[in-house]
Structures are given as structure tokens and as C-alpha cells.
């Protein structure tokens, strides 16, 4: 089975479910799936197996699959996040992710200022310095790579393994914002400085300062993307 073919089918099917093109609770026959995506039974079976692991579908033996409501989805899985962000109407997902970051990342920075190793603190300072230089140059691709590494390291340096496991979630939202043109062409000088301030506070063992500087980063992020979700209803899962 071609890995590329499987990935294509999985991506298309996931996007169709997330967009609502395939209605929740509907049953789709295996033959319909194979015809729709032009693939063999084995390729489709593997794609459905992955979607099952994400809680997005339930297999109906010898029939096909039943699409599950959002309340059953693994909303923290990077694939689900990516598919939701790729929708034209992605304000609700952006809002939820931004609120999650606002709740977690300042706290993670505060903990990192108490528990981070010397090596982690030094790496954060180095990353912040590189982010400033690269951000000013306008190289958004490299800046994204450094930004992901910086925020992931703060989560890991907190010493909270639950926070650390959110690294892929943060990576997806940062990547999604960049790919959809939701990042400024040149990062704001204030934001670049706040990253330096976070790293400096972590190295200096100043938890309150680390919290404040990370909160400033998150507040700036919220201000930049809030217009996208203005007026969007909130999602209440059953």
C-alpha cells in the first residue's frame, strides 16, 4: 500500500468529516468510499482505522463506517486540529486554541522559572535571540521553526509532563496561523522582546516575571486573531 495514497485519502476524508460535508451519524458504505476516493479496500480500511483511533468514525462491520459527532473526536490530536484549521470558517478552532494557550503557557513559563535546568534556560535565551534576528529578516519559515521550538521547550521545562505533551498542539496552531497568512509579515518588536524577557526570567529564576512576559505574548496573539472569530458561536459538547 502506498503511504502517499493512504495519506491523501486520510486527509481528504478527515477534511470532509470536519467540514460537515459528510454528516455526523450518517453511515457510509465501504463501496461508496472506495468509489468516491478511487482506492482499494485495503487503502480505505487503513484510513478508516486511523479515523477510528481519532474518535471520528465507528466501524460498522461488513458495511462501512458511521461518522461520529464532534463530542467523540480527540480534539487534542494534531491531525484533528490541522483539519479544523484548514477550514475556511476556522474561527471557532482558533479561539479554542488561543484560549487554551492563554490558560497554559503563562503557567508553564512560571513553572519553568522554578524548575528548568540550566541547559534548558540557556537554550531558551539562544532561541529568543535567534528569533529576534530571524524575525527582523522576515524569514517566516525559519521563524516558525524557532517559535515552535521555543514554546515547546517552555512547556517541557515546566516539569509538568501534561503541559509538555501539548507541544504538538502548539506546533499545529503556530503552523496553521503561518500557513494561512495570519501572522504579521514581520513579528512585532514588542513580541520579540517578550520572548527574550521570558527566557531571561526563566534563567534568572523569576517566576512572576516569566508569567507576565508570556501572558503579554498570549495577549498580543489574541488581539491579532480575535477578529477572525468575532460573532462565532461557542461550541458546547454533549
- All structural domains of the chain: 3-72 (1.10.10.10), 78-229 (1.20.120.530)
3 or 185: which leads in pLDDT: 185
Is residue 220 predicted with pLDDT exceeding 90? yes
Summarised one tens digit per residue, pLDDT across range 222-234 is 999 999 999 999 9
List, edge to edge, every strand of the sheet that includes 64-67: 27-29, 64-67, 57-60
C-alpha cell at 68: 461520529
CA 208 to chain centre: 26
CA 96 to chain centre: 10
Backbone angles phi, psi at 57, to 5 degrees: -140, 160
d(CA 82, CA 175): 9
pLDDT at 3 (0 to 100) = 65
pLDDT at 84 (0 to 100) = 96
Q: What is the mean pLDDT of residues 30-40?
A: 89
CA-angle at 27, arms to 75 and 87, nearest 5°: 40
Q: What is the mean pLDDT of residues 184-191?
A: 88
Q: Nearest-CA neighbor of 187 among 149, 147, 153, 155?
A: 147
Is residue 132 predicted with pLDDT exceeding 50? yes
Longest dimension (CA), the chain: 62
Backbone angles phi, psi at 60, to 5 degrees: -105, 110
Amino acid at each position: 500500500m502506498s503511504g502517499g495514497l493512504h495519506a491523501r485519502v486520510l486527509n481528504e476524508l478527515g477534511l470532509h468529516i470536519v467540514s460537515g460535508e459528510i454528516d455526523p451519524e450518517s453511515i457510509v458504505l465501504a463501496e461508496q468510499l472506495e468509489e468516491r476516493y478511487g482506492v482499494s479496500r485495503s487503502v480505505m480500511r487503513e484510513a478508516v482505522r486511523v479515523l477510528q483511533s481519532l474518535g471520528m468514525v465507528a466501524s460498522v462491520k461488513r458495511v462501512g463506517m458511521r461518522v461520529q459527532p464532534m463530542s467523540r473526536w480527540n480534539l487534542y490530536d494534531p491531525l484533528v486540529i490541522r483539519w479544523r484549521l484548514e477550514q475556511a470558517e476556522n474561527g471557532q478552532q482558533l479561539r479554542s486554541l488561543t484560549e487554551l494557550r492563554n490558560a497554559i503557557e503563562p503557567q508553564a513559563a512560571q513553572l519553568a522559572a522554578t524548575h528548568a535546568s540550566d541547559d534548558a534556560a540557556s537554550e531558551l535565551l539562544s532561541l529568543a535571540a535567534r528569533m529576534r534576528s530571524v524575525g527582523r529578516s522576515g524569514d517566516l519559515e525559519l521563524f516558525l521553526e524557532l517559535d515552535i521550538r521555543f514554546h515547546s521547550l517552555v512547556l517541557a521545562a515546566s516539569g509538568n509532563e501534561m503541559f509538555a505533551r501539548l507541544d504538538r498542539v502548539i506546533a499545529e496552531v503556530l503552523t496553521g496561523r503561518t500557513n494561512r497568512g495570519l501572522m504579521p509579515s514581520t513579528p512585532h518588536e514588542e513580541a520579540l522582546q517578550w520572548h527574550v524577557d521570558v527566557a531571561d526570567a526563566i534563567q534568572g529564576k523569576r517566576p512572576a516575571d516569566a508569567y507576565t512576559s508570556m501572558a503579554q505574548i498570549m495577549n498580543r496573539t489574541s488581539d491579532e486573531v480575535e477578529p477572525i472569530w468575532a460573532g462565532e458561536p461557542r461550541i458546547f459538547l454533549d
